[in-house]
Structure 1
């Protein structure tokens, strides 16, 4: 084990001075951040609750956005399927299933989003 440390130190001393300084700063900062002697976590709890409140404000907007995207996907998909049917392509059924699946997914995501964040819609 000491041989590995010794080789690592030799490689570190072989680096230019700026690289040595950068490595020292990175390593010493991580050790200092790992030590927490406060023991009081109320600041973190307050921050998490305020973030949760801010996210709750955006959930209705995201639900409406999911519905809007589902509508656009349905319109563009219907046009694509219509063109494929007129051109007598072979994978029309596959295209229809993909469009319907995408719309169902977006609508289900819009319904599940408030439930995921615990918000009554």
Structure 2
């Protein structure tokens, strides 16, 4: 009876070790794949910042032509959005190194 319990315990331990090795390989594969996406996502964020700058410039121009009072606020929001996206696009690859 002891022999069967010992063999059963050994089989469970070996099975758990194999499962952990497979899980570690899966996590490593996922981490490598995500690292591969860091540069394209960074470039996409820079492109989004460029679109924000263009739309913001047109928005500021139209507000200035209409004589609105919140032109400074619109300029600051546009610049803030561009700076935030560019900062995030530069910081993103640092998280995956």
TM-score of the two chains, using structure 1 as the length reference: 0.65
**Number of the residue aligned with 2:16:** 39
Question: Following the alignment from structure 1 to structure 2, what is the Cα–Cα distance between the partners of residues 47 and 89?
Answer: 56
- Determine which structure has greater relative contact order: mean sequence separation of CA pairs < 8 Å that are 6+ residues apart, divided by chain length: 2
* 1:39 CA displacement: 2.7
Residue 114 of structure 1 pairs with residue 79 of structure 2: no
* 1:100 CA displacement: 0.3
Question: Following the alignment from structure 1 to structure 2, what is the Cα–Cα distance between the partners of residues 46 and 90?
Answer: 59
Contiguous gaps of at least 5 residues in structure 1:
1-35
Question: Which of the residues 97, 112, 118 maps onto 2:76?
Answer: 97
TM-score of the two chains, using structure 2 as the length reference: 0.80
Secondary structure of 2:16's match? coil
Alignment of 1:61-80 (within 5 A): 61-80=40-59
- Give the total of aligned pairs: 83
Question: Following the alignment from structure 1 to structure 2, what is the Cα–Cα distance between the partners of residues 94 and 44?
Answer: 51
* 1:95 CA displacement: 0.6
